[in-house]
Amino acid sequence: MLLQAFNLWFNPEAERRIMAGAATFQLKRAQVIFAEGKAPAVRFNDEVRGSLIAKLTKPIEIGDEVLQSDVTQVDGFELDLADADAGHFTIYEWDHGQSWRIFFDFRRNRRGAAALVAAAEQFVAAAEFSLSQGHAGPFIDNLFSATELLAKARLITSAAESNLKSHSAIHTKINMWGKRGNVDARFVELFNELSNLRRAARYQAAVPTLKADDPVGRARAEIAALKMRLKRFSDTP
Task: Determine the Cα–Cα distance for residues 9 and 181; give it in Å rounded to an integer.
Answer: 31
**pLDDT tens readout for residues 50-70:** 988 889 999 988 888 888 888
Whether 72 and 158 share a structural domain: no
Whether 225 and 115 share a structural domain: yes
Whether 189 and 128 share a structural domain: yes
Whether 30 and 132 share a structural domain: no
Higher pLDDT, 160 or 200: 200
Q: Is residue 236 part of a domain?
A: no
Whether 79 and 168 share a structural domain: no
Whether 219 and 139 share a structural domain: yes
Whether 158 and 121 share a structural domain: yes
Q: How many domains does the chain have?
A: 2
Q: Is residue 134 part of a domain?
A: yes
> Contact at 8 Å (CB) between 63 and 89?
no
Q: Is residue 153 part of a domain?
A: yes
* Last-in-domain residue among 105, 128, 151: 105
Whether 55 and 114 share a structural domain: no
Q: Is residue 152 part of a domain?
A: yes
Whether 117 and 42 share a structural domain: no
> Contact at 8 Å (CB) between 53 and 75?
yes
Q: What is the mean pLDDT of the chain?
A: 90
Q: Is residue 237 part of a domain?
A: no
pTM over 0.95: no
What pLDDT was estimated at residue 62?
86
**pLDDT tens readout for residues 12-34:** 999 999 999 988 889 999 999 99
Residue 41 has pLDDT above 90, yes or no: yes
Residue 237 has pLDDT above 60, yes or no: no
Task: Determine the Cα–Cα distance for residues 99 and 114; give it in Å rounded to an integer.
Answer: 36
Residue 139 has pLDDT above 80, yes or no: yes
Whether 44 and 130 share a structural domain: no
**pLDDT tens readout for residues 140-197:** 999 999 999 999 999 998 756 666 888 888 999 999 999 988 899 999 999 999 999 9
| Domain with 10 in it | 2-105
> Contact at 8 Å (CB) between 201 and 140?
yes
Whether 91 and 115 share a structural domain: no
